[in-house]
Amino acid sequence: MKKLFSSLAVVVLILGIFAPSVLADSHDQNAMLRVLHASPDAPAVDVYLNDEAVVEGAEFKAATDYMEVPAGEHTVEIYAAGTKGEQDPVISTTVNVEAGMAYTAAAIDNLENIQLKAIQDSMEATEGMAKVRVGHFIPGAPAVDVGPIGGDDLFSGAEFPMVTDYMEIDPGSYDLEVRTTDGTQLIDLSGTNLEAGKVYSAFAVGTADNPEVLLLQDSAAMPTMMPATGLGGTADSSSNAWMYAALLGVLAMGAGFMLTRKRSEA
């Protein structure tokens, strides 16, 4: 009888070893960060985050997708491409990011005055609406309005290097323009298509003579869960595991009986 108890003890011990461990969800601790090169006369750059290369050879008008970074303070250094270790960075600064938030770090102004502007990005639009904001990153250009061609302003009086608040508008195709506050068109944005559930940042970049707009997506409509795309008909499901385990168990039991019987015969 003692043997039985010790065997059971072993079973319990082994079950303990196989007990599933609970893993923390690492995504919750992170923030999202993207980098935009909006300095019209700056060279292609490498971007280092905490001394680690995250972007290589990004030219003017390049933007990264969002990168997942831990919450907290990060050192951001921007070097002319390939010059780390040989030259000083053109920008060296820190950016503080909160968990669960998204940010854009934009290198703005002419090379002479280049600086990093960090802004927080919206991660949600009302269902069925599009959400948009405008950033004025054209050094030396006057204050601008943005609105439909021949229509009222959606955004007024944006000055360098300002980023407006977000505004929710109906999704659809818009013939927008960026114009000076006296109505002169600077940039034609005819056929700008804004989708429902999306959040956009329209950053005006370039020079006063050669302005253009980068339309970045800050967010999109997302489900809270992945889809349930299988019913298990072809799976090695756990019922199979039960079967195989039972089979092995019975085999072992049989072997045990044989063994004890042989011993008693001997």
Partner 1 sequence: MVRKLFPLALGLLVFFISFQWLNEEPVEDPRVLSTSETTRTQGVEVKKESIVTDQLEKAPVKQNYKPAVHASSEQYGITPDRIEIPTIDVDASIQALGYTPDGGMAVPKSLTDVGWFEPGTMPGNQGNSVIAGHVDGNSGPAVFYDLKDLSPGDEIHVYDENTKLTFEVSRIESYPYKNAPIREIFGPTNTRNLNLITCTGPYDDEASTYSERLAVFTVLTDRQEL
Which residues in 163-202 contact partner 1 (CB under 8 A)?
173, 188-193, 195-199, 202
Distance CA 28, CA 94 (A): 22
What six digits make up the tokens of 6?
């010790």
Question: Please, which residue, 208 or 245, has the CB nearer to partner 1?
Answer: 245
- The number of angstroms, rounded, from the C-alpha of 10 to the middle of its chain's C-alpha atoms is 47
What six digits make up the tokens of 22?
């609970």
Q: Which of 113, 227, 262, 266 binds partner 1 (CB under 8 A)?
A: 227
Min dist. Cβ of residue 251 to partner 1 (A): 8
Min dist. Cβ of residue 145 to partner 1 (A): 16
SS3 of 224-254: CCCCCCCCCCCCCCHHHHHHHHHHHHHHHHH
Min dist. Cβ of residue 177 to partner 1 (A): 11
Find, among 109, 71, 115, the residue nearest to 92 by Cα.
115
Distance CA 157, CA 180 (A): 8
Min dist. Cβ of residue 158 to partner 1 (A): 15
Q: Which of 54, 81, 154, 162 binds partner 1 (CB under 8 A)?
A: 54
Question: Please, which residue, 111 or 220, has the CB nearer to partner 1?
Answer: 220
Interacting positions 83-122 with partner 1 (CB under 8 A): 84-85
Helix (H, G, I), strand (E, B) or coil at 76: strand
Q: Which of 222, 262, 265, 266 binds partner 1 (CB under 8 A)?
A: 222
Query: Does 53 sit near partner 1 (CB under 8 A)?
Result: yes
Interacting positions 138-167 with partner 1 (CB under 8 A): none
Question: Please, which residue, 112 or 127, has the CB nearer to partner 1?
Answer: 127
CB 171 within 8 A of CB 194: yes
Min dist. Cβ of residue 44 to partner 1 (A): 11
Min dist. Cβ of residue 112 to partner 1 (A): 23
CB 161 within 8 A of CB 109: yes
CB 48 within 8 A of CB 84: yes
Min dist. Cβ of residue 21 to partner 1 (A): 9
Query: Does 241 sit near partner 1 (CB under 8 A)?
Result: yes
Interacting positions 15-44 with partner 1 (CB under 8 A): 15, 18, 20, 23, 25-27, 30, 32, 36
Residue 82 — φ and ψ, nearest 5°?
80, 5
Q: Which residue has the tokens 């039985």?
A: 4
The stretch among 89-97, 107-115, 157-165, 209-217 that binds partner 1 (CB under 8 A) is 209-217
- Kindly compute the dihedral angle of the four CA atoms of residues 229, 235, 241, 243, in this order, to the nearest 10 degrees: 120
